[in-house]
Amino acid sequence: MSEFQNIGLIGRTESDSAVVSLKRLMVFLEREGYTVVLEKETAAAVSALNAQISSKEKLGELCDLVIVVGGDGSLLAAARALAKFSVPLLGINRGRLGFLTDISPDEVERKVGEVLVGKYMAESRFLLDMSVTRAGKPLGKGSALNDVVIHPGEFIRMIEFDLFIDGQFVYAQRSDGLIISTPTGSTAYALSGGGPIMHPKLDAIVLVPLNPHTLSSRPIVVEGSSEFKIVVGEYNTTNPYVTCDGHEQVVTNPGDIIRIHKKPHRLTLVHPLEHNFYEICRKKLNWQLS
């Protein structure tokens, strides 16, 4: 008997191709005797009138496994909502790159079927918690599987901030911002900003300056247990934004304090047995020899 009996489904509802894959997956799971629970927006997209429906957060309590059909953005959103429930996630790629959603649409039945009978590998990933305070009072918070980014927001202007790691002053910087990335996010925005690729198993965090005014300011890799404090500079002419995975955001004022640290709950990603990080890098980042 499979360890996964109650299967949650979350889909990229604005994508016609994702809806097609969701319907195909539902037929397969129900034929094999699994209980399917649809996230409510997903249920509306596939017109599943008689299906069991749940909020995204409730899936974490009801399901043994959640399958995300969409791109990496869809899986990031699911991870932020479900990490605290310890429910594993499996991704089917209906997006672009697909670093996290690694099952292709044409092999849904075979690959998902293998996972459901125990032929899979599980990978633990950590997330980041972010909070902002103003004059000692909470202003906003968020979490990220990929990265927390401080940036100018609506205007293209340099911003100033002071960075502290584990209570120690690191630098006062003028730049377009700063990316604080997990290993999972090292192949995303941080990579575009010149940061290193980090293997997902690393317990490390990378800080990548965005177009720093001092050209010698380079990415720094620190241990995953590090705690970061960023003080927004008093003389900024714009209000820096703080975003988590490009979605949850807080608009700051001079003097606000941003704190970032590892989230206590970890995410379990499920992959087919042949999953290979380096092969994914070769394919997605075009490392193949010409």
- Tokens matching residue 17: 């191709």
Torsion of Cα atoms, 89 then 90 then 96 then 99, to 10°: 80
- Catalytic residue flag (residue 72): yes
260 vs 1: CA distance, rounded Å: 42
Beta strands 241-244 and 147-151, pairing class: antiparallel
Contact 140, 250 (CB under 8 A): yes
Residue 159, beta-bridge partner list:
175
- Tokens matching residue 116: 């459901």
The residue annotated as part of the active site, out of 72, 102, 245, 256, is: 72
109 vs 252: CA distance, rounded Å: 47
Beta strands 89-93 and 65-70, pairing class: parallel
Residues whose CB is less than 8 angstroms from the CB of residue 100 and which lie 6 or more positions away in sequence, other chains included: 72, 75, 76, 91, 184, 269
Number of H helices and E strands in the chain, helices first, is 7, 17
As annotated, the active-site residues are: 72
